[in-house]
Amino acid sequence: MSRADPPVSLLREEARAWLLRMSSGQAGPEDERALEAWLSRSEEHRRQFAEVHRLWRELDQLPESAWLESEPARQRPRWLPFAMAASLAMVLLAGGLVWRSLSGVAPEPSQWQYATQTAELRSLALEDGSAIELGARSRISVAYGGDTRQVVLQDGEAFFDVARDVERPFLIDVGVGTVRVLGTAFSIHRNGGQITVAVARGEVAVSRGSHRATLTAGQRLRLSQTELYRLEDLPTGEVATWREGRRVFRDSPLADVVADLNRYSPVPVVIADTRLAGMRVTGAFDNFADVAAVLETIELSLSARVTRTPERVLLRAR
């Protein structure tokens, strides 16, 4: 809660009054705009509104006037008007809070998309206290339902600090497998069908078909469409070093290094010589966003030749 926020008890009463008003069937566009303004004041305003609705829905305490009836003979529907729900969803998302559907049915994950641009990092705060740090040129979708928290990492990398909730597991779909946690901190890197999961704190379960592996702090796992799990140890301080601008590579193919570099480069970096693609790289880059410096290091350490054009950068063997 920010310093300017009223006491939680007052916010809770205001949220209850707003819910009654918006579900009365008499709310108009001015009420919608006023509610949007109220919700946008702070994360605590949004949290209290979502919590009041959740409690009332579970305890069946919404009064008769709150139910909408299109015909007397029909069962009373237990949701706010669709247009209003959509409006509230947009307001809550704009405030950085993933909205738990007022109808009790989670929207499709594709409705809540987040993406970063070249060299951009972004922090996301979720309604349950979980946090996601999204790496450069990464795409992710989020959906919270009544009993699950679901994320799809479509491309790129993300660091997750998940609030513990034994009743709602946190699930991440990475295409070739699924990551499941209750509460922990870990990173996932996805480059096409190549997946890397590294744990900074707690425990993470990774499944692929009928296979399952459990990781603890200081462990990293790699999997792909063709390769089963490969566990390896790493210092927890090396988990998601990209959040600090650093990159650490241990016996990584140059192709993987270049794939990461392309998330920061304004023009594509292309390995034009197949002899270079499989060369191994071990080392740390303190400022990976400095593309020119990284290319210079590659040029010197791997005896590569860098050719720059306005459209791309080419890497060739000398």
**Predicted pLDDT at 131:** 92
Residues 205 and 170 in one domain: yes
Q: CA 301, 303, 309 angle in degrees (round to 5)?
A: 105
Residues 129 and 206 in one domain: yes
Residues 127 and 226 in one domain: yes
Answer whether residue 19 is part of any domain. Answer: yes
Answer whether residue 103 is part of any domain. Answer: no
The pLDDT tens digits along the chain (318 residues) read: 444 556 767 887 788 788 777 766 677 777 777 887 788 788 788 878 877 766 655 544 444 333 333 333 333 333 344 444 444 444 444 444 333 334 444 444 334 788 999 999 999 988 888 999 999 999 999 988 777 789 999 999 999 999 998 888 999 999 888 999 988 999 999 988 889 999 999 999 999 888 889 999 999 999 888 777 788 999 999 999 999 999 999 889 999 999 999 999 999 999 998 888 889 999 899 999 999 999 999 999 888 999 999 899 999 988
Answer whether residue 100 is part of any domain. Answer: no
Helix/strand/coil for 299: helix
Answer whether residue 2 is part of any domain. Answer: no
**Nearest C-alpha neighbor of 4 from the set 42, 57, 54:** 42
Residues 250 and 217 in one domain: no
Domain boundary among 215, 238, 261: 238
Pinpoint the alpha helices (H) of the chain: 8-22, 29-39, 43-59, 82-94, 254-261, 274-277, 291-301
The whole-angstrom separation of Cα 302 and Cα 36 is 56
Host domain of residue 201: 109-238
**Predicted pLDDT at 47:** 78
Domain boundary among 213, 238, 263: 238
The whole-angstrom separation of Cα 197 and Cα 206 is 9
Domain boundary among 205, 220, 238: 238
Question: Euclidean distance between the first and final Cα of the chain, in Å?
Answer: 59
**Predicted pLDDT at 54:** 64
**Predicted pLDDT at 125:** 86
- How many folded domains does the chain comprise? 3
